[in-house]
Amino acid sequence: MRTQISLLLIACFCSLTCLAQNEFDKYFTTKSLRIDFALSGNTQFQAAAIQQLREEPVWGGPVKNRIDKFNYGGYYINIYDKSTNELIYSRGFNTLFEEWRTTEQAKTETQSWTNSISVPYPKTTVVVEITARDKADMQFHPLLKMDIDPASIFIDRGKLKENKVTQIQYEGNPNEKVDLVFIAEGYTADDQDKFVADAKKFTESLFQTPPYTTRRKDFNIWAVNLISEDKGTDISGKGIYKNTALNSGYYTFGVDRYLTTPDMKPIRDAVWNVPCDAIFLLVNTDTYGGGGMYNFYAMGTADNEKTQHVFVHEFGHSFAGLADEYFSSEVAYQDFYNLKYEPWEPNITTLVDFDSKWKDLLPANTPIPTPLDAAHKDKPGVFEGGGYISKGIYRPMDHCMMRDYAPFCPACSRAILRMIDFLSDREY
């Protein structure tokens, strides 16, 4: 009898799994539709416009988890079946452009930035919608909506440069694994072996950091060699400019340690033939700095003494949507969070809707907010200060990787594990 029940359960499980796979096969192939688009605007407004569509040969993302229920990020891409209007794919993401919109410069200048997102390649005509979250109400509003016919001659199907790709770790089917791709930036032709060695070093630091320690087998790790003319990266505040593959630099928004690149196109060109759920740009310099935006990219330097921690911290932003928990360092943002609403990041709260955050992780009888006294300071709580400001935003532990490179707090750890489950195509 027990065997029969087990068999029945296994049969049910299989049919559910197969159903989800069939649903994917009904709408998509395991290739990618890459959508390059401009975001233009300033503090007051923004608009989106398509720049290029590409068919690319690999889809490494999940196939069962087609709909993104996290509600993370400043933007969402939604794909609807044209004939039924059913939502068949969605995914949230951040951009560097939205951060720029909160700077002083955006009050007086209008700019246009290139962004790029890849989705599974549709089988029939779909409606693609890009929405943006308005900080005034925290809701997503449509920016752009258009039909895409997958057979259109206006979709570029050309091959791009075949860079050397190294499998640092391969654990299985990319649809069921997190595919983390390191890309070389500021490595000259002579530095290419160093890049692969650096990517291996960073892979080890990731899996030595809880909670990643227990989930190594959920990751495939790739390294894409790109050759730069010059070593290093721009330090524009000191008049140093380098000719590098991804056009990166410090002094993003005028902050010396903030290392980013404004241009997504060469990044996406580098991963056109690689399964890719997460991108880390590894910069060949020993200067302190980095950056990371949710489901966009993370960036860090190869040879600084704090570099392993910076890598895990920045990857926390880009991979799991984690907010900065610090509140005393210089940043260029103004009114980054609207305190009237609950922020979307899983590791900070304005207490507007704390029930949706880490309340269930608090020890019994923890006061909310939590005083930073001897009885509470080393336990999960709700401590004031986080998200760049000292008042009105609260963090889950006094210290965390997202504040000062301490071990991840329980709220961050849970968010990371949930994202691993999502991208490994499991229940999340």
Is 77 near Zn ion (CB under 5 A)?
A: no
Q: Where are the alpha helices (DSSP H) in 28-62?
A: none
Q: Report the residue number, 392 or 407, with the smaller CB distance to Zn ion.
A: 407
Residues 314-353 close enough to bind Zn ion by CB under 5 A: 347
**What letter would DSSP give residue 217?**
G
Q: How many C-beta neighbours within 10 Å does residue 313 have?
A: 24
Interatomic CA distance for residues 347 and 367, integer angstroms: 18
Is 409 near Zn ion (CB under 5 A)?
A: yes
Do the bridges between strand 278-283 and strand 178-185 make them parallel or antiparallel, or are there none, so unpaired? parallel
Among 48, 400, 416, 423, binds Zn ion (CB under 5 A): 400
**3-state class (DSSP) for residue 198:** helix
Measured from the CB of residue 359, what is the shortest distance to Zn ion in angstroms? 15
Q: Report the residue number, 236 or 366, with the smaller CB distance to Zn ion.
A: 366
342-375: buried (b, 16+ CB within 10 Å) or exposed (e) per residue? bbbbbbbbbbeebeebbeebbeeebeeebeeeee
Residue of 261, 370, 258, 250 whose CA lies nearest to 314 = 258
Q: Report the residue number, 35 or 348, with the smaller CB distance to Zn ion.
A: 348
Among the listed ranges 108-116, 234-242, 404-412, 419-427, the one in contact with Zn ion (CB under 5 A) is 404-412
Q: Report the residue number, 252 or 347, with the smaller CB distance to Zn ion.
A: 347
Measured from the CB of residue 400, what is the shortest distance to Zn ion in angstroms? 3
**How many residues contact Zn ion, by CB under 5 A?**
5
Q: Cβ contacts of residue 345 below 8 Å, gap of 6+?
A: 72, 321, 322, 323, 387
Is 402 near Zn ion (CB under 5 A)?
A: yes
Q: Report the residue number, 267 or 401, with the smaller CB distance to Zn ion.
A: 401
Among the listed ranges 65-73, 156-164, 269-277, 392-400, the one in contact with Zn ion (CB under 5 A) is 392-400
Where does residue 418 rank: exposed (0-12), middle (13-18), buried (19+ CB within 10 A)? middle
Q: Report the residue number, 312 or 402, with the smaller CB distance to Zn ion.
A: 402
Among 88, 148, 412, 419, binds Zn ion (CB under 5 A): 412
Q: Which residues of this chain interact with Zn ion, rule CB under 5 A?
A: 347, 400, 402, 409, 412
